[in-house]
Amino acid sequence: MTASRGVDLDALADLEEERDFLLRSLDDLEVEFEAGDLEPDDYETLRDDYTVRAAAVIRSIEDRHLDLEGTQSETSWVRTLAWVAATVAGLVVAGVVLVQFTGERGEGDTITGEIRQSPRQALFDCQNLAGQGELAEAIPCLDGILESDPENVEAVTYRGWYLYLATRGSDDQALVDELTGLAWIQFDRAIEIEPEFPDARAFRAIVALAGGDAEKAEAELEVFEASNPPLDMTQLIDSFGLRDRIAEALADGSGS
């Protein structure tokens, strides 16, 4: 294969093969564990290792696909927003379902049944659902994690992010306002749990700027940059052109 827009397509193909191998390995691991061929501690260790590796490979694949699409136009900015969850037809309907679900779910309700996975694997599965555009399933999936681990800062943070993503493309301002408000509740909770959690700070900066508050976005971005953020989140911020967008908004006097 040849390169396109600076992307090595052979390297991309290798990454996709590695992703498929790791996902198959996770499936095989599950079969071996259920057959009694693995001790629980070995199973958890191997599964967490495969999961972390698979997530890293998938992020690398997504980054290369974004490079292929380009990230300079307004259209590609929206595509970058879909880095975590694709904006698909029916997203607004999913948003309505999420509002109803959030309002009706009782404190002790069980969404996904007994969780047999490690928290890391369960989180990966939820993110995978979101990546397929299944926001109405991804949020209850995260709730399943929070049932047993209410202090899981990643689950809280991504619950807020997915709620916000459900507003994309909606002409129903009341729905947008409600989902955005629910997203901020989750972000605030994440900051209570871990004040410098970079993912939460990055998402807060993005949502604040989208809401017209460039000063708040700038403050969130400063905390994010001081938190020694992981590479994938730094790439997300760069892909959004967030620093330049904040500077432009402040220069235009639209910072508050």
Q: How is the chain split into domains, by residue range?
A: 10-62
Neighbours of 125 (CB within 10 A): 17
Q: What is the pLDDT of residues 42-101, one digit of tens each?
A: 776 676 566 656 666 676 676 666 555 553 344 344 444 444 443 333 333 344 444 444
Q: Global pTM?
A: 0.59
pLDDT tens, position by position, 207-216: 999 899 999 9
Backbone φ, ψ for residue 146 (5° rounding): -70, -20
**Pick from 216, 215, 218, 224: which is nearest to 195 by CA?**
224
Q: For the chain, what is the largest distance between any 2 Cα atoms, rounded to a whole number of angstroms?
A: 64
Distance CA 254, CA 243 (A): 15
Max mean pLDDT among 55-59, 124-128, 129-133 falls in 124-128
CA-wise closest residue to 236 among 132, 128, 80? 80
